Structures are given as C-alpha cells and as structure tokens.
Chains A and B, each alone.
Chain A
Amino acid sequence: MKIKKSIAVSASGLIFNPDTGESFTVNPMGAEIINYLKEDKSQQEIATHVIEKYNVDTSSFEKDYEDYIGLLSNYSLVEND
C-alpha cells in the first residue's frame, strides 16, 4: 500500500488531495504513518518503528494500522503497490 504521490501532508498534519480538492486533518501519529508511507516504507518497517518508539504491542498496532489504512483508502488517498 502506497500513499498517492500527489498527496501533500503538512508538518501540522493537514492532508491535501490535489485531485479532488479535499483536505483532512490527522493527529501527529496519523501524519507520521503517512510520512512513512510516502517514504515507501513497508508495513513491517512501519510496525518496527512504531512499536519501538511508542511501546505498543504488535496486535494493537496491526489493528489500528489496518483501520487507518482502510480510512485512507475510503478517501482515495492510497493506492496498491
């Protein structure tokens, strides 16, 4: 899963989709995940970063990550590899 190349994410967590004109705000965690996706990191790499940095267990990360990706997908912000 990749974030669409055209999607812009500001440091404050504003996501702008230039194709549709839609904008969204995400919390710092959401922005961090999007930035990892923009760097083409895999789910495994993102999991390693987040689990280590925030001291969460793997199953909690996976559940929240899938929910979040589902949300991004609903708003057409991501595309398949």
Chain B
Amino acid sequence: MIEKKHLTIAVSGLNAIDSPGPGVAVIRALKEAVSFDCRIIGLAYESLEPGIFMHDLVDKTYQIPYPSSGTDSIMERLEYIHAQEKLDVIIPNFDSELYPFIRLEQRLKDMGIHTFLPTMEQFEERHKVNLEAFGKKYGIKVPKGKVYHDLSSIHAISKDFQYPVLVKGKYYDAYIAYNVDQAKTYFNKITAKWGTPVIVQEFVHGTEFNVTGLGDGLGNIIAAVPMRKQYITDKGKAWGGISIADLRMLELTERFISQTKWRGGFELELMKDKNNDFYLLEINPRMPAWIYLAVGVGQNIPEALVLMALGEKVLPFTEYKVGKMFVRYAWDMIVDIEEFQQISTHGEL
C-alpha cells in the first residue's frame, strides 16, 4: 500500500465572520484531500478570528504581522514559524496579503516553502483600479469605472455616471450611493479604512453570479465551478448559493484563463443584466469563502492548488455536479479565556 504524503500547510483567512475569509473553508477542503494528509497551521492577524479556536481543523495558529508592516517583518515571522513547523505550503487567502506573498515567493521557495500564486503582473492587471482597461484588453464586458483620489473630485461623479453608483475600496467594501452626499460619506468611510484610491463603478442591475476556479499559469483551466448567489447578506456576501451549468460563464472563465494565463485560485464576480449579458464586476485573486461548494460538487480546488504548488502534474477536472447548494450558518463556540490569553499575549495557540 502506498502511504499518503504528510504535508504541513499554513493557511490564512481564519476570520469566519459575517464577511468571511476563505481560510476555514479551504482547510475543510484540505482535510478531505485524498492525495495527502495534512497538519494545518493557521496564520491569523487578530486574536478573535474564529478559525484559531477550531481545533478539529486548525492544529496550531500563529499571529502574523499585517501586510502593511512590510515584507521584512512578515518574512521574519514566517522564518520563525517555519523553524517550528517545517512548512511545505502556504496558502494566503486575503487580497491584501497577496502583494507581500508574491514578492516573497522566491525567498519562501528557497526555504522549501511552496506557494501557487498569480504573478505580480497578473495581480496588478486584474486590480479593480485597472478593471476597465482589463475588460478592453481581453474583450470582456465590465461596468464603466473611474478612480478617485480625493474627496473634492467626488463632486464631479454625475459628469461621468448616472446614480446609483457603486463606491468601492481598493481591497474591500462596496456601497451603493444614490446621490453625491452618500457618495461622499462612503468615500470617507472607505478611505478611513483602506486608504485611497476609491473606485466608482456604474451600478449594473441584475442577478449575481460567481465562478471559482484554478489556472495552471500556462493558460489552462484546472478547475471551474459557476454558482448563482441565492441568499445575499447586507454586505453583499453569498450566504447561500447553487452550482449551475451556464456555458457562457464557463466560456468567459476559459477566455479569462487562456488570455491572462492566470496562475492560482481565483473568483470572478459577475452580474447578469436584464438583457442576459454578463458583466465582470471583480476578479478576486484567490479562492472565495464559498470554495467548499466546489469540493461538494466534485472539484477539490484547494487540494489541486497544493499539488500544483508542490510541482506535481494535476489533471484538469472535467465535470461537477449541478444543482448542489451551500447554505452558510453561524455557530457559537465556547472558548476558555486561557486560549484567548495565549493567542493574545504569545501570538501562538
């Protein structure tokens, strides 16, 4: 009998909150991998990220410095963690940490830690700030958008757009503004949290769809699962969804992968308008919080991503089950204060 590989995999995005990070779902998928067994090391930014306390999923958690603290301090912390845990793979799950992790990719590889991330060029090109140019370059419909750096320029929104408009942060948050006063309020709210610029986007009325998948970096699709959002929270997050068989979404995904030669996990956010046209609203350069649906329909994308990070040949998934739903829920864990103290004061649990 061939023994399964044992891997140590570090995963971030343990904030399984109302606007959840993908970490816990990614870990569930990794625990169900058929090609390896794994020890999971959680990487957390805050001491109340729920994943830290899910001991059946996360074996040990380390706090790490915020991406804004710079690559050197992140690297220093990762070196310490690697010395304790001998990491095989790291899966960063936040948009904001991809920039430092892409920059650190080679240094991590030299230490024996593998990643499977988009290139810096791919990461920058798909950024919301550049989405309109991206759509033009690749022949994909995107809503009209414009970048605003200061509050005074917000007054001129009505010259370029009709209300309502979407006001978006460069990494997270999006609000619908129906007039200039609301747009100004949201500009201030977003810049206080995420800094400038702020992106203003034409609001496309319609139905929301997402695709998650995995590209091999050579222009081939390894996995792709389209989903229709069925239950959307006030933060715009899918709390329930269903896998669907829309060929046009799969074609659009194929075009995105083959033309950009996307490397790594991704999520396409799409809106279908009243004319049945799809608009690409955002490209998230990592797996989404609903990634476990992909596992549920037969495509374990996190497992495939780990194997590709290790340089193994992975055959593309060719099918998935249509009509499978995910329904998210909230769950109260009871946690001893000693555990909270441990992660808060020592940065490890």
Q: Which residues of A contact B (CB under 8 A)?
A: 6, 8, 16, 18-23
A-B CB pair tally, cutoff 8 Å: 26
Report the nearest A residue to B248, measured CB to CB: A19
- Please indicate the chain A residues that have their CB under 8 angstroms from the CB of B322 in the complex: 18
Q: Which of B241, B243, B244 contacts A20 (CB 8 A)?
A: B244
Whether A20 pairs with B323 at a CB distance below 8 angstroms is: no
Residues of A within 8 A of B245 (CB): 6, 18-19
Chain B residues near A8 (CB-CB < 8 A): 323
As a 0/1 sequence over residues 294 to 328 of chain B, the CB contacts with chain A under 8 angstroms (1 = contact) are 00000000000000000000000000001100000
Main secondary structure of the interface of A (DSSP, over half): loop
Interface size of B by CB at 8 A reads 14
Task: Say whether A18 contacts B323, CB under 8 Å.
Answer: yes
Produce 1/0 per residue, B145-180, CB < 8 A to A. Answer: 000000000000000000000000000000000000
Report the minimum CB–CB distance from B323 to chain A (whole Å). Answer: 6
Minimum distance in angstroms from A22 CB to a CB of chain B: 8
The answer on a CB contact under 8 Å between A16 and B323 is: yes
B230 within 8 A of A: yes
On B, residues with C-beta under 8 Å from A are: 207, 209, 227-228, 230, 241-247, 322-323
Give chain B residues whose Cβ lies under 8 Å from the Cβ of A21.
209, 227-228, 230, 241-244, 246
- For B243, the closest partner residue in chain A by CB is A21
A-B contact pairs, 23 of them (CB 8 A): A6-B245, A8-B323, A16-B323, A18-B244, A18-B245, A18-B322, A18-B323, A19-B244, A19-B246, A19-B247, A20-B207, A20-B228, A20-B244, A20-B246, A21-B209, A21-B227, A21-B228, A21-B241, A21-B242, A21-B243, A21-B244, A22-B228, A23-B242
The smallest C-beta distance from A8 to any residue of chain B, in angstroms, reads: 7
Which among B209, B230, B322 has the highest number of chain A CB atoms within 10 Å?
B322
B-chain residues with CB within 8 Å of residue A22 when the two chains form the complex:
228
Query: Which residues of chain A have C-beta atoms less than 8 A from B230's C-beta?
Result: 21
> Chain B residues near A23 (CB, 8 Å)?
242
